[in-house]
Structure 1
């Protein structure tokens, strides 16, 4: 039985909360317990997060029972969104509190297992508190991890990391943000005093082996390109209720004011027949416009907006109202497309083309966000071009197709930024730094001459359009 590997207290807690492990959990737990690199690829609502975290919690519980927990971070969880980081913190608090209470009842008191969030929303006082007493489980973003690896206090707290969890890894792997993260991961593993097990959580992707290679890094890939990583794939054939909604007005090359009005009227009518609806648009500007116009039709109390430029308090308030069913509709951009707990969303509407099968599936998957739930989505194209794109996306989903993942090869601007950060924290020999960078999968084929050119530019300075930037690195010898 998969649960037999856990401490009895963990087993009892899990059985009191769930009917049984999901497929992703059953397949992933044994490898994670052995410290093996593991990639879990499964749809939203399949229990991926608990598949990654429960073994980590079990290890902390066992250590806390037999010895004192160290004042150092043991687990680093990286999320691409600040909102998802805050959500994970809240979702971890409940099981940790319940496990602690259960242990107390069973006469096995546990020391406090501390969790902490370090993102752009973290206040200076909270950062200072974490520096003095690091959390055992650190929840952060790629950018904040990069900052921690450059600061003295951050590096001190990360030296004992045992497990690294990269959530929604597919959302960053195919762009420069992913290249930046891959270098931060290698810097973290270089800093850690022992081996670091890497756990990746991903939506369904093709080829999934490419995501695994991105996760484990170049040294963990054999001559045939096979990554040293257990790949768990589940739920590929999930049923999706998807339809394209067409306006009565004729579409043109741009969306007319009248067509916008008809589209929003149609969405309003559909929303009123569902308990909670998410409306996705492609820009923050459109979030404000659509939320305002839906508020005029439904009332201010029925609509909230959510995007990354809003204040932390405004975002959290919108998420809480959505989760509690206090609003009918939330208009959002990418800020809510990943695995944030927003309650029982019944319907997802997409205005315009999302231009990606994976992105569309991710957004539709915010509805029916339960094990065995059926996602329900409606597409609202506004132009002829968007209609063609939406039709192609719907057909691709119907045929089970996915976008092919393409990881950009060794972006040099990202490389330069990470090199400066690494050298600001400690001295590096050029050969050692080059070898470290080549461990990151996007930089596996980085030519030595390109690396040397970046070093030359950073150590000699360079001339932008106006003025001149001085040297950012000191080259000794």
Structure 2
């Protein structure tokens, strides 16, 4: 066992602390090439990751950069810097700690390159940028350790692929580099370990004591959840009561728009004027920082937020988490629960608030999964090639390279272990020439081979490549500010498409306040305050989560079980009525209901494949039904079903779900759809074909769309086998279209399809008629008319 130096034991003793077993284990195994620590929130993961570094420098000293810390969030890196600086300064250790993110000044960045600190806290993007410099070998000389925090969050995205490619470069420069991964929520530790390690080297996994089970339940409310919708306005009184009973409550939402709506309704009901804030990624940074500082000082009683507060930042004395809306993903729910009672061996406390009646079932299924420690996750497949193309360009910025050596280096990255030489050469050729259809244009002639080494054709192009490093594809956002005569205060950002839909006088929510659109000045949306009570809601950028495959399976199992005692009586009665009127969906079969309603024929397909896949299913099946002469007129989708309406009844499902026909229909639909062009633009930007950032200017979303659409049309016409088109098709299939979930559904059901012809709308189908886009009701009478429509539908379904 490695003993702590006296200065460390004295520091622990002064606080009445003792080293945790997993922290001691990390210290004992400091020389392991790769080590993954899974420890509960509040379990001292950060100190466990840094303890070997602090001890090594304290005992042996070190010149230059010793340890790199990688965080998925800039704010988390800044928070860790604060937390790490305290013990270092109190123990008087000769250790310099700095962070380097997009918020770091240019002068500080130049100084860090010339004189690196002992510990540098950064993000994947900033690390990739550092590896692109010619003096990277000098910057990283002597680097001994790299700590990847919240590794599960990075492993699920292209930012993780970018990071692990950068690690392969660091390992080549520093062969003895030790890798450490830290996480609290991992569904498959072995898979994360394979990503962290240098392939095919092993990675050991340390599992800390998980601590007490979380105290988690569904919020009890006097009002029943509505049949549809995502606002959960019915729960406002009960949520306010919980806020009053706790010190600080985090109220999580799945989207920014939902957070804005809920905050607005909560504030209107907040008669005691409790200090409540709002926090999400579209708000101005200064406003977010004010909320964060107020939380740490204990000045707020609640914060309505999104995933911007998901990860391991210690935000003051939070003692309750409320998740509004079904969590969609058990792993995300566990991560959010961990924000409450952020202390070792203190149970986290959380409440779930289903937004509608079906989400009650999903919340109960999620609660069961948390208690069973059954986390969910989707396999990501091989490393994306657009990220690989960017990595090749980054490597070229650092100086000439040998293709054979770079290929072998990349193959040490777990996600790229199966990369073939032909795939690598295709990416290299694209980086060098732009591909067959573009090689005649100088702007895409970026690399050349001289004396067996590849290098930049024009060294000046390195600046442009560096300016566009990254895999995060920001939505096209415009700044929102108060009018200049109102102070010009920045409020945040809204999507460019949303801004284009506004006319002077329109109102919308941002930062919890209602503002009135005054006009667009250059690229800034100018607004003024408005006293309206019914704003037009901004459709903020943000992930639209789909229910995970594992959670969907739990929902199906719960539905089909004979015991519904875990469900509230109103929901159990709804399920029982569905069983009497129709069938209950089953995991191994596909239920399709066909029935007339309001002079139209309807078909409801219960695929339980997630919202994106159900949406895609609606698009494809509508075309299939058109070929069957059923005259479909439209459709609407949720996470669990797709409702299609038209003029003729569906009476025979034979061939409707033929896999080859569905794929062919999807390919035809994609070929002429804007979605494929949007996917192309994202991949082309990551791969370096399109530059959003130029010296002194950034292309607007419209400019980038115009250039990428021209490129896409050109390649589709003259070079249909172009690398980027192949990447685009692959990305589209596993992205918003989520065709893999449809194929999983087809595998699950085989040819077991139950088509029921029924005389009227069914209990499970009725809520789909109330989904946004299905029953458009506008104007001041919206709430009353929607309530009347709800009552009429539920009576037709036997529910009222």
Give the TM interval when normalised to the shorter protein: 0.7 to 0.9
Equivalent residue runs for 1:42-121 within 5 Å: 42-64=39-61, 69-70=62-63, 72-100=64-92, 112-121=94-103
Unaligned runs of 5+ in 1: 101-109, 221-226
**Is 1:243 aligned with 2:217?**
yes
Q: State the partner residue of 2:122.
A: 140
- Whether contact under 8 Å (1:276, 1:345) holds in the other structure is yes
Q: State the partner residue of 1:424.
A: 397
**Is 1:375 aligned with 2:348?**
yes
Distance 1:122 1:389 in 2: 42
Pick one of 152, 155, 172 that aligns with 1:173.
Answer: 155
Q: State the partner residue of 1:107.
A: none
Q: State the partner residue of 1:253.
A: 228
Equivalent residue runs for 1:374-393 within 5 Å: 374-393=347-366
Distance 1:437 1:358 in 2: 30
Distance 1:351 1:372, change over 3 A: same
Aligned residues: CA RMSD? 2.3
Pick one of 28, 38, 42 that aligns with 1:41.
Answer: 38
- Whether contact under 8 Å (2:211, 2:346) holds in the other structure is no
Pick one of 300, 304, 308 that aligns with 1:327.
Answer: 300
- Whether contact under 8 Å (1:246, 1:381) holds in the other structure is no
Q: State the partner residue of 2:199.
A: 218
Distance 2:237 2:177 in 1: 53
- Whether contact under 8 Å (1:205, 1:405) holds in the other structure is no
Q: Normalization by structure 1: what TM-score?
A: 0.87
Q: Deviation at 1:404?
A: 4.1
Equivalent residue runs for 1:269-348 within 5 Å: 269-298=241-270, 302-348=275-321
- Whether contact under 8 Å (2:298, 2:316) holds in the other structure is yes
Q: Normalization by structure 2: what TM-score?
A: 0.53
- Whether contact under 8 Å (1:204, 1:236) holds in the other structure is no
> Which shows bigger deviation, 85-94 or 380-389?
380-389
Q: State the partner residue of 1:106.
A: none
Q: Deviation at 1:171?
A: 1.1
- Whether contact under 8 Å (1:179, 1:442) holds in the other structure is yes
Q: State the partner residue of 1:163.
A: 145
Distance 1:327 1:473, change over 3 A: same
**Is 1:460 aligned with 2:458?**
no
Distance 1:393 1:31, change over 3 A: same
Pick one of 372, 375, 390 that aligns with 1:399.
Answer: 372
Pick one of 200, 207, 214 that aligns with 1:233.
Answer: 207
Distance 2:142 2:283 in 1: 35
Secondary structure of residue in 2 paired with 1:218: coil
Aligned residues: 446
Q: Deviations over 1:19-58 (max 9, x none)?
A: 21223213222002x3542211011011111111122111
Distance 1:136 1:272, change over 3 A: same
Distance 2:352 2:196 in 1: 33
Q: Deviation at 1:92?
A: 0.8
Distance 1:363 1:345, change over 3 A: same
**Is 1:470 aligned with 2:444?**
yes
**Is 1:441 aligned with 2:450?**
no
Secondary structure of residue in 1 paired with 2:127: helix
Distance 2:396 2:358 in 1: 48
> Which shows bigger deviation, 137-146 or 311-320?
311-320
Distance 1:249 1:35, change over 3 A: closer
Secondary structure of residue in 2 paired with 1:474: strand
Q: Deviations over 1:209-261 (max 9, x none)?
A: 111111112131xxxxxx2x331112346311111236524532324xxx643
Q: State the partner residue of 1:196.
A: 177
Distance 1:237 1:16 in 2: 24
Secondary structure of residue in 1 paired with 2:245: coil
Distance 2:8 2:96 in 1: 17
Distance 1:97 1:301 in 2: 37
Distance 2:426 2:337 in 1: 45
Distance 1:45 1:405 in 2: 26
Q: Which has the larger radius of gyration?
A: 2
Q: State the partner residue of 2:576.
A: none
Distance 1:468 1:297 in 2: 62
Q: State the partner residue of 1:9.
A: 7
Q: Deviation at 1:76?
A: 0.2
Distance 1:84 1:290 in 2: 26
Distance 2:281 2:136 in 1: 25
Distance 1:126 1:412, change over 3 A: same
Distance 1:385 1:119 in 2: 42
Pick one of 438, 447, 451 that aligns with 2:424.
Answer: 451
Q: State the partner residue of 2:238.
A: 266
Distance 1:295 1:469 in 2: 53
Q: Deviations over 1:51-94 (max 9, x none)?
A: 11122111111124xxxx42x21110001111110100000111
**Is 1:366 aligned with 2:339?**
yes
Q: State the partner residue of 1:224.
A: none
Q: State the partner residue of 1:209.
A: 190
Distance 1:461 1:321, change over 3 A: same
Unaligned runs of 5+ in 2: 453-800
Secondary structure of residue in 1 paired with 2:37: strand
Distance 1:251 1:290 in 2: 15
Q: State the partner residue of 2:165.
A: 183
Distance 1:195 1:437 in 2: 17
Q: State the partner residue of 1:413.
A: 386
